């Protein structure tokens, strides 16, 4: 049986493993948990989905909703949504898919259902080739041999890891926008007439109430995304300065005297690709000449959760059809 190493356990990597036929697959993950940017931060009674916010109900990926329901990973919610708060757009009902116990339960449930061995807290720093087989290096540890290696990580990181084996000379760099994300719990309701929406202020691009998603705390909790352009300008802002700035903007916008009882911020360096690999090169993944090493991720298809799933699915289909049958 072919031995496969998958570096990363984000949604693209999990999708790849799910769509591949039965193989000897081993995951390697630099973090302590699967999921990548699908993350739920918990603090006492608070919970914040501060990575990916939700999955569209009509995302168009065949079979995804059915599988996530099968493993009891998701629930469908109806919330009030405003597409442009600044312009006072009409507030409408919108159904979305979220993780049943926070969005991190989606990758956690998928990873558990796959039953593949995983080395957590293991950052792969090098790949070695010996006798037509590949080995992974993490510090003083060496793993392998492997017949195939799949790297599911941001383009820049995978390029550093694979450039000895893949010619990137005709491959333009994939540019990513960084995004500052802020998590805030207020001691009372702000009086906001919607659960989530875009364009609150010229600085704030998106905000989402967490109470209607998690349903187990009394304070009003929000996750707020700053605009990419603003994040770029204030990339190195102190966390406490940013948090206080956003709290004041929220209170001013909704004319509230609520006090923040919890605040935390996180800067996502590789939040989303400005243009996908498919848009730039009409390619859905990058491969070595011998078709043994692959680089892929949501940046190949687009910025959303469904794009990440599609990236792994498309690579699995092509690999099964072309490489495994050779």
Kindly report, residue by residue over 214-252, the tens digit of the pLDDT.
Answer: 877 788 999 999 999 999 999 999 999 999 999 999 999
Residues 66 and 133 grouped into a single domain: no
Inter-residue contact 261 to 185 (CB < 8 Å): yes
Residues 258 and 156 grouped into a single domain: no
Residues 189 and 251 grouped into a single domain: yes
Residue 262 host element (H or E): strand 260-273
Q: Would you state the pLDDT for residue 218?
A: 80
Residues 23 and 116 grouped into a single domain: yes
- From CA 308, how far away is CA 107, in angstroms rounded? 12
Segment 105-154, tens digit of pLDDT: 999 999 999 999 999 999 999 999 998 899 999 999 999 999 999 999 99
Residue 196 CB burial class (10 angstroms; 0-12, 13-18, ≥19): buried
Segment 64-98, tens digit of pLDDT: 999 999 999 999 999 999 999 999 999 999 999 99
Band the pLDDT of 164: cuts 50, 70, 90. Answer: very high
Residues 268 and 192 grouped into a single domain: yes
Percent residues over pLDDT 90 in the chain: 87
Residues 27 and 169 grouped into a single domain: yes
Residues 299 and 169 grouped into a single domain: yes
Task: Give me the CATH number covering residue 98.
Answer: 3.90.660.10
Residues 131 and 236 grouped into a single domain: no
Number of domains the chain contains: 2
Residues 226 and 96 grouped into a single domain: yes
Residues 249 and 110 grouped into a single domain: no
Residues 21 and 69 grouped into a single domain: no
Looking at the predicted structure, is the pLDDT value of residue 40 above 80?
Answer: yes
Chain centroid to CA 267: 13
pTM score, two decimals? 0.95
Task: Give me the CATH number covering residue 315.
Answer: 3.50.50.60
Percent residues over pLDDT 70 in the chain: 99
Closest CA to 301 of 321, 281, 323, 322: 281
Q: Give me the domain span that covers residue 135.
A: 3-38+106-173+275-322
Segment 256-301, tens digit of pLDDT: 999 999 999 999 999 888 899 999 999 999 999 999 999 999 999 9
Angle at 91 between CA 86 and CA 94, to 5 degrees: 120
Q: Would you state the pLDDT for residue 323?
A: 76
Mean pLDDT of the chain: 94
- From CA 230, how far away is CA 293, in angstroms rounded? 37
Residues 255 and 134 grouped into a single domain: no
């Amino acid at each position: 049986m072919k031995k496969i190493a998958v570096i990363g356990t984000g949604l693209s990597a999990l999708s790849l493993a799910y769509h591949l036929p039965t193989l000897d697959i081993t995951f390697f993950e630099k973090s302590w948990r699967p999921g990548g940017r699908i993350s739920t931060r918990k603090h006492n009674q608070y919970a914040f989905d501060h990575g990916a916010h939700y999955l569209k109900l009509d995302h168009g990926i065949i079979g995804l909703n059915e599988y996530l329901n099968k493993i009891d990973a998701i629930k469908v919610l109806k919330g009030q949504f405003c597409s442009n708060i600044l312009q006072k757009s009409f507030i409408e009902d919108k159904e979305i898919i979220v993780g049943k116990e926070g969005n991190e339960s989606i990758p956690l449930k998928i990873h558990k259902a796959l039953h593949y061995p995983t080395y957590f807290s293991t950052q792969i720093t090098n790949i070695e080739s010996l006798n037509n087989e590949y080995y992974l290096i993490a510090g003083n540890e060496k793993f392998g041999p492997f017949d195939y290696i799949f790297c599911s990580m941001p383009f820049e990181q995978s390029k550093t890891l694979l450039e000895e084996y893949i010619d990137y000379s005709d491959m333009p760099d994939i540019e990513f926008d960084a995004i500052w994300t802020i998590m805030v719990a207020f001691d009372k309701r702000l009086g906001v007439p919607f659960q989530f929406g875009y364009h609150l202020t010229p600085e704030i691009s998106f905000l989402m109430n967490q109470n209607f998603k998690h349903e187990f705390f009394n304070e009003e909790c929000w996750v707020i995304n700053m605009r990419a352009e603003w994040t770029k300008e204030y990339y190195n802002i102190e966390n406490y300065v940013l948090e206080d700035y956003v709290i004041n903007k929220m209170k001013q916008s909704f004319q509230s005297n609520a006090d923040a009882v919890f605040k935390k911020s996180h800067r996502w360096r590789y939040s989303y690709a400005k243009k996908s690999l498919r848009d730039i090169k009409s390619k859905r993944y990058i491969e070595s000449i011998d078709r043994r090493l692959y680089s892929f991720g949501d940046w190949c298809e687009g910025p959303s959760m469904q794009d990440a799933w599609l990236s792994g699915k498309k690579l699995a289909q092509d690999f099964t059809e072309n490489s495994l049958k050779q």
